[in-house]
Amino acid sequence: MKIGGYKIDIWILIPVLLLLIFSIGLVYSASSDYSISKFKDANYMFKLHLIKVLMALVLIFIFAKIDYKYYQKYSKWLILMSLFFLVLVFIIGVSIKNVNRWINLGPVSFQPSDLAKYTLILFVANLLVKQRNKITDLYKGYLPVILSILTVCILVAAQPNFSTSLIIFGSSMLLLLISKVKFKHILITGISLLPFAVIFILTKSYIRNRIENYADFTSSGTAQHQLNQAIIGLGNGGIFGVGGGNSLQKQFFLPEAHGDFIFSIIGEEYGLLGTLAVIFLFALLLIRGYKVAKKIPDEYGKYVAFGITTVITAYAVVNMSVACGIIPTTGVPIPFISYGGTALIFNSIAVGILLNISSYRNESPEAFSDNSNLNGMLSESNLKNV
């Protein structure tokens, strides 16, 4: 479908637009009481979120027009920039709730991890294409790829932000699984890193506390309190919900009602039907994103489309799982809905890139200048097995 000269994949655009539009009223409802308490203005956070949503919409269409193959050319510089900011956060980072995840650049602050999770996809995709003929070699092919992934994950985990690091690592491993990387290399990596992950968890009290609170439903810890209140909110909503703006949990019963636990507010105000609608939109985005990855006759486009789709939906699944009590509490927002700045902006840029890739999905192989890429294309059967 063409909109104003744009060749747009509506099955990617519509779910994202609906989530963004839905977030406007939802953030207003979830943040109004907190906004009054902190800023003496019920509309303060709502207005900021509205501005960010408008920026996100503009960025989606801007990046939908930029040829995604440019990122392949500059992926090295993009990942180096991300690594620079990830290191810089330890030097000039702003501490919020005892963690250094933000960098202030005048009036703008952002989390480098939000940038890194996508530049890593762009960089790894380029490595997989360039080293397709030796990617099965442990030292010459696989090692440079896994070292780039681990470098980003270690820097993010050290902030500390273990949940984001885990999502980045898991998404990257899924990307490697659909490439020509040997499965035994991926398996050995996972087994080798497991002891280090366990040691990291045991040495970080905040992670231990979250796991212990999750295991003990009678705990009075902050994480368990959040989980209990989130489940209460979901239960209050029933099938049809209590109605938009009528949440009780947002009235300081549920911490982070406008952020990490906004899915509970969805369940309370719009009920089971509302939560299923959100799940359906993310499922539609997942299916369409993977279909684009399967159909585009360009190896780099396949990897990037698959990686972007995986990262976005992984964040959604983790956030919703936390709100439902399926996994321990993490600080992961739900894409396009939670209040926040950098996550919304970078997710929207990623969707723009995905839309641009999708515009090439029906092109013939001859439309791509580097036909050598076709020699290493992902097989359709591999993508079907994902």
**16-28 residue pLDDT tens:** 999 999 999 999 9
Mean residue pLDDT across the chain: 88
Percentage of the chain lying above the pLDDT 70 cut: 89
Residue pLDDT, tens place only, 152-209: 999 999 988 999 999 999 999 999 999 999 999 999 999 999 999 999 998 888 888 8
Share of the chain above pLDDT 90, in %: 66
Q: Is the pLDDT of residue 383 over 70?
A: no
Q: Is pLDDT larger for residue 38 or for residue 214?
A: 38
Which of 93-97, 174-178, 266-270 has the lowest average pLDDT?
93-97
For position 226, what pLDDT does the model report?
83
Calpha distance 315→118 (Å, rounded): 13
Tens digit of each residue's pLDDT (9 = 90 or more) over 318-334? 999 999 989 988 889 99
CA distance 207 to 188: 25
pLDDT category of residue 98 using cuts at 50, 70 and 90:
low
Asked whether the beta carbons of 294 and 286 are under 8 A apart, the reply is: no
Question: Which tops the pLDDT comparison, 215 or 111?
Answer: 111
Considering only 98-107, 319-328, 358-367, which range has the smallest mean pLDDT? 358-367
* Mean per-residue pLDDT, 105-134: 90
Confidence of residue 249 (pLDDT cuts 50, 70, 90): very high
Distances (CA, A) of 73 to 123, 129, 245: 10, 12, 47
Q: For residue 369, what pLDDT band results from cuts at 50, 70 and 90?
A: low
| Torsion region of 103: left, alpha or beta (phi above 0 gives left; psi -120 to 50 gives alpha) | beta
Residue 261 confidence (pLDDT): 92
Work out the average pLDDT over 350-358. 97
How confident is residue 317, by pLDDT bands cut at 50, 70 and 90? very high
Least confident of 119-128, 183-192, 283-292, 368-377: 368-377
Tokens representing residue 111 in the block: 């989390």
User: Can you tell me the mean pLDDT for 101-108?
Assistant: 78
Enter the pTM of the model. 0.90
Q: What is the pLDDT of residue 372?
A: 40
Three-state SS annotation for the chain: CEECCEECCHHHHHHHHHHHHHHHHHHHHHHHHHHHHHHCCCCHHHHHHHHHHHHHHHHHHHHHCCCCHHHHHHHHHHHHHHHHHHHHHHHHCEEECCEEEEEEECCEEECHHHHHHHHHHHHHHHHHHHCCCCCCCHHHHHHHHHHHHHHHHHHHHCCCCHHHHHHHHHHHHHHHHCCCCCHHHHHHHHHHHHHHHHHHHHHCHHHHHHHHHHHCCCCCCHHHHHHHHHHHHHHHHCCCCCCCCCCCCCCCCCCCCCCCCHHHHHHHHHHHHHHHHHHHHHHHHHHHHHHHHHHCCCHHHHHHHHHHHHHHHHHHHHHHHHHCCCCCCCCCCCCCCCCCCHHHHHHHHHHHHHHHHHCCCCCCHHHCCCHHHHHHCCCHHHHHCC
What is the predicted pLDDT for the residue at 252? 83
